Amino acid sequence: MVGGGVIGLSIAAELARAGNAVTVVADRSATDSVSAVAAAVWFPYRAGTSPAVPTWLARSLVRFAELAADRATGVDLREGMVVERRPGADRSWTAAVPEHREATTAELPPGALAGVRATVPVITVPTYLAWLHARCDRLGVRYVRRTVGSVDECAADADLVVVAAGLRSGELVDDDTLYPIRGQVVRLPNPGITEWVTDDDNPAGVTYVVSRRNDVVCGGVAEVENWDLTPDPDTEAAILRRTAALVPALAGLPVLSRDVGLRPGRDTVRLERVEGHAVPVLACYGHGGAGVTMSWGCAEAVADLARGS
């Protein structure tokens, strides 16, 4: 397995659960990867157009809902709202969500056309990644910290290589269709809110508020082809203005921390066999802004492919 973010660790857990000996080779830990920047609410933001997306979404939601029964996982089922500002907004994601309804006019922010209220998993990422790592440990997953230069260099030690290296996967499997979608977040102390809200078509910019257990993640931006990893103060000020307008309880709170992450953008998630290597190779990357959201569904699909390899 190349990659130790949320995708790599989820696949490692599924493969190990199926009885395989798994080694995760990664040059960054999950807590030091894009996965740690995720907000992370279950929602198919920039999920790409793979035909299997609805299946991955549905399977992941089932798995996260099971995990929410154990507080130690960091997963909670929380009600929130997707704000719609365009006619014909894509609501296909609601097919996977047992609890959802039309938002009332009184619940919508000014200027919104409509909205959906839904109860979905919200993942407190630091707790979740620690839990996921511990689960891999219990299943006997081993870890090697190094940069992989090519998949063929893994051939001597593996019957199968899975490339789940996020934005940098293309270097390993000759794919130049990945691109960064830069995101920036600000974390505030949680003033006692439990809901999440996403307002992607806000005319002032992409806006979301995700209340986690101990803090609130405020975002954001989605800047295609921007590789800059430094938080921009003007962007942060604009995020704080927009999120306070959406959730007034956030106004004036001190900033706990700030972060930038490059979402692994691709028009479709690449989840398939890759031919032409010295060892069987499976790819699983390009999850855009929905890597956490689709993680378990994709991990199950990779484990299915691995069984046939």
Ligand X SMILES: Cc1cc2nc3c(=O)[nH]c(=O)nc-3n(C[C@H](O)[C@H](O)[C@H](O)COP(=O)(O)OP(=O)(O)OC[C@H]3O[C@@H](n4cnc5c(N)ncnc54)[C@H](O)[C@@H]3O)c2cc1C
The residue ranges that bind ligand X (CB under 6 A) are 2-8, 25-28, 33-35, 37-41, 147-148, 164-168, 172, 183, 185, 219-220, 261, 263-264, 285, 287-293
CB of 231 to ligand X, least distance (A): 11
CB of 290 to ligand X, least distance (A): 4
- 215-219 and 179-189: which strand pairing? antiparallel
CB of 87 to ligand X, least distance (A): 25
CB of 62 to ligand X, least distance (A): 15
Select 5 or 80, whichever has its Cβ closest to ligand X.
Answer: 5
- Give the span between the Cα atoms of 251 and 242, in whole angstroms: 10
CB of 253 to ligand X, least distance (A): 19
Query: Do the Cβ atoms of 80 and 120 come closer than 8 Å?
Result: yes
Helix (H) or strand (E) holding 265: strand 257-265
Select 111 or 157, whichever has its Cβ closest to ligand X.
Answer: 157
- Give the span between the Cα atoms of 304 and 294, in whole angstroms: 16
Select 36 or 103, whichever has its Cβ closest to ligand X.
Answer: 36
Task: For Cα atoms 211, 124, 285, give the angle at the middle one, nearest 5 degrees.
Answer: 115
CB of 105 to ligand X, least distance (A): 27
Select 285 or 296, whichever has its Cβ closest to ligand X.
Answer: 285
Show Cβ contacts of residue 168 under 8 Å, excluding neighbours closer than 6 positions: none
Helices first, then strands: H and E counts in the chain? 6, 14
Select 2 or 282, whichever has its Cβ closest to ligand X.
Answer: 2
Show Cβ contacts of residue 73 under 8 Å, excluding neighbours closer than 6 positions: 67, 127, 128, 131
Select 88 or 158, whichever has its Cβ closest to ligand X.
Answer: 158
Select 111 or 142, whichever has its Cβ closest to ligand X.
Answer: 142
CB of 99 to ligand X, least distance (A): 18
- Give the span between the Cα atoms of 2 and 14, in whole angstroms: 15
| Amino acid making up residue 145 | R
CB atoms within 10 A of CB 249: 15
Helix (H) or strand (E) holding 115: strand 114-123
